[in-house]
């Protein structure tokens, strides 16, 4: 591989959006535009599907003034997708199309920002380019509010989602405790196999308004114990706020959510929903008390008004570092975050082989969950608190957030 590789780059976003996905795009775009060896900077419309369809945006046509709003803009400004590539050893048709687009536009750098499945896409494209001899440096850039991406201490996007969840939980707790009749509120929080987001609700405990009970997929769910736990809390203080991960399951692996079979995404993962309503109905039926189910749903991943400054800064950092590492000759890696030892929080970036991070899940350590399996302990607080730290001075217009308005000129 040559020391100085000249050519265009493609930047793509994939998977579920987050509050800082565009902050990472800002880091990648601005760094690539300033690099002499990168001749053109393209954004893929809707991730790898945009590459396959040949729909690319010329990022050089965007004004720097507008790009500066990206770190404050939630979701995925280039558009995202859930698209599973076949194994290149078994089927090369789609890869031949990707190669055609790369060769036509002299693409020598490919940056893909996403979670577990996106790292799988990166690994396959990197492997295919090696197979056919097209020199292209492929770098995966971490993103997932689920925080379950293997090989990194945490993922950009998680801190802001965690901050929103903790804040909303505290606010709901205050609302739920005003009536003298007592009530139960069940909060449904995202998390298919990993309970990182639901665990974040426990941070509200530090305000004195945290969930009384919390259930994550790392611990098998027991309905009888769940009802007993609620009855004990109500007997002690009248009301109860309960946080549950959408992917909680019984000991036999069956998901508690009745909507588990309703749909799947592009990677075959179950699409959840309706768990809070189902549990609320069971609580009302079994305990005969007033109960309300609340599903945070999309709010937890697009709440940029509650974004963590640390999260935004690290999102930009991994984007910049991805481009700099590629320019230095690295390829076939994901940019991971590594927490340095010491009393003060500080993270550095490290290279993680794509073969290590692709399709691997990082779960909440069991020793961060209390002995009863219905709450978190101090180890989780120590881990998560630095990730939600800091407030942003957000740009506004007419009292509302000012988001980036890209022109998205197609090449």
Sign of CA dihedral 46, 48, 53, 57: positive
Q: Can you tell me the distance from the alpha carbon of 317 to that of 394, in angstroms, rounded to the nearest whole number?
A: 19
| Structure tokens belonging to residue 310 | 């640390």
Q: Which residues pair with 400 in a beta bridge?
A: 397
Q: What's the Cα-to-Cα distance from 389 to each of 273, 315, 401, rounded to whole Å?
A: 30, 14, 20
Q: Are 44 and 83 in contact (CB under 8 A)?
A: no
Residue 406 CA to its chain's centroid (Å): 23
Cα distance between residue 87 and residue 121, in whole Å? 9
Nearest CA-CA partner of 9 in 133, 145, 113, 153:
113
**171 DSSP assignment:** H
Token pair of 369 as six digits: 């969950």
- Which DSSP letter does residue 376 get? B
Query: Counting beta carbons within 10 angstroms of the beta carbon of residue 398, is it exposed (0 to 12), middle (13 to 18) or buried (19 or more)?
Result: exposed
Catalytic-labelled residue, pool 117, 120, 146, 311: 146
146 is catalytic: yes
Q: H-helix or E-strand containing 228?
A: helix 223-237
Alpha-helical (H) ranges within 288-384 are 299-302, 309-327, 354-357, 378-384
**SS3 helix, strand, coil % of the chain, rounded to 5?**
40, 20, 40
Which residues are part of the catalytic machinery? 146
């Amino acid at each position: 591989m040559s020391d100085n590789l000249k050519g265009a780059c493609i930047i793509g976003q994939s998977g579920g959006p987050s509050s800082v996905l565009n902050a990472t795009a800002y880091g990648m775009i601005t760094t690539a535009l300033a690099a002499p060896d990168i001749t053109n900077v393209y954004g893929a419309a809707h991730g790898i599907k945009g590459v396959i369809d040949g729909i690319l945006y010329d990022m050089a046509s965007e004004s720097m003034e507008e790009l500066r709003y990206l770190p404050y803009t939630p979701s995925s400004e280039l558009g995202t997708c859930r698209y599973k590539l076949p194994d290149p050893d078994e089927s090369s048709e789609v890869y031949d199309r990707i190669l055609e687009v790369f060769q036509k536009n002299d693409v020598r750098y490919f940056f893909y920002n996403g979670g577990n499945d996106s790292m799988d896409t990166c690994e396959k494209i990197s492997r295919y380019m090696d197979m056919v001899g097209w020199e292209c440096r492929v770098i995966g850039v971490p993103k997932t509010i689920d925080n379950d991406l293997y090989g990194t201490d945490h993922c950009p996007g998680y801190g802001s989602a965690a901050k929103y969840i903790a804040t909303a939980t505290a606010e709901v707790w205050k609302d739920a405790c005003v009536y003298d009749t007592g009530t139960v509120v069940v909060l449904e929080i995202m998390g298919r196999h990993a309970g990182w987001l639901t665990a974040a609700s426990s941070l509200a405990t530090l305000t004195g308004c945290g969930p009384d009970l919390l259930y994550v997929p790392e611990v098998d769910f027991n309905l009888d114990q769940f009802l007993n736990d609620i009855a004990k809390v109500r007997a002690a203080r009248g009301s109860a706020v309960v946080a549950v991960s959408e992917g909680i399951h019984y000991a036999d692996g069956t998901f508690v959510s009745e909507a588990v079979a309703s749909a799947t995404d592009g990677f075959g993962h179950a699409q959840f929903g309706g768990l809070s309503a189902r549990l609320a109905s069971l609580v009302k039926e079994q305990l005969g008390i007033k109960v309300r189910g609340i599903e945070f749903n999309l709010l937890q991943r697009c709440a940029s008004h509650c974004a963590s400054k640390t999260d935004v800064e690290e999102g930009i950092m991994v984007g910049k570092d991805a481009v700099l590492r590629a320019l230095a000759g690295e390829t076939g890696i994901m940019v991971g975050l590594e927490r340095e030892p010491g009393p003060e929080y500080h993270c550095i970036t490290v290279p993680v082989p794509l073969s290590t991070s692709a399709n691997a899940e990082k779960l909440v350590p069991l020793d961060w969950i209390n002995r009863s399996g219905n709450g978190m302990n101090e180890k989780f607080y120590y881990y998560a608190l630095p990730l939600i730290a800091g407030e942003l001075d957000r740009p506004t217009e007419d009292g509302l957030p000012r988001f980036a308005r890209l022109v998205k000129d197609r090449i």
